[in-house]
Structure 1
Amino acid sequence: MNRPLQITFRGMDTSEAMAEYIRGEAEKLEQFCDRIVGCHVVVEQPHKHQRQGNRFHVRVDLHVPGKELFAGREHAERREHEDPYQAVNDAFEAVRHQLQHYTETQHAHR
């Protein structure tokens, strides 16, 4: 990556364990595609509910030459997003699919 990975936590305490996990997921993307320019990940806990459990929203913004890819699912869409690691997995999986499509398109135009 040309720019360092940015990780932002909103509505929650910064978690070094979560940041390390996110760095690992970002490294996997770099192994898949070496044209990544930058990546910004936002982990957000918008509302803290005592009865319903905490929900997390994760957004991944990925910059590649000529395009910005992003993925993030609303925290209420899936019950698994009470687990912040599952929210990270889902967001990275979604952006990985977009990155795969991007690389296939780039190879087709060569």
Structure 2
Amino acid sequence: MDFPLQIAFEGVKPSDELRVCVGDEVAQLGELADRIKLARVVLGRPQRRNHRADACRVHIQIEGLDGSDITITRDPAITGVEEDVHATIKDAFTSLRRRLEQLSERS
């Protein structure tokens, strides 16, 4: 990973376990990461309160080397899918990989 990774926690207790989970997902981006200048990941409480205790909103913002921005958000309050935080992180990064692959194919 040759770009800065910023991880923020909003209403979620910061933990090394979650930092490692996000770091592992970033590492799996492989050569797609060559297009990234900066990555910000925010882990926060879902917008509505009636969710599992371990539910989490994941927001990823990527600044590309070409000046493009990619934003991915997974929020159980919006999607209606009740997942634990690890599954939500994985789902968000799966969407990010697809988006990066689409951009890579276009260039």
Q: TM-score, normalised by structure 1?
A: 0.81
Question: For residue 8 of structure 1, what is the aligned residue in structure 2?
Answer: 8
2-structure distance, mates of 1:17, 1:30: 21
Over the matched positions of the two proteins, sequence identity in percent amounts to 27
2-structure distance, mates of 1:99, 1:27: 14
Q: TM-score, normalised by structure 2?
A: 0.83
How many correspondences in the alignment? 103
CA deviations on 1:25-56 (whole Å, 9 max, x unpaired) are: 1112243341211100011024695x742221
Preserved CA contact (<8 Å) 1:73 1:91: yes
Preserved CA contact (<8 Å) 2:47 2:75: no
Aligned AA (2:13):
D
Question: For residue 52 of structure 2, what is the aligned residue in structure 1?
Answer: 53
Whether 2:41 is the aligned partner of 1:38: answer: no
Question: For residue 18 of structure 1, what is the aligned residue in structure 2?
Answer: 18
Root-mean-square deviation (CA, aligned residues, Å) is: 2.0
Whether 2:71 is the aligned partner of 1:91: answer: no
Unaligned runs of 5+ in 1: none
Give the greater-gyration-radius structure (CA).
1
Unaligned runs of 5+ in 2: none
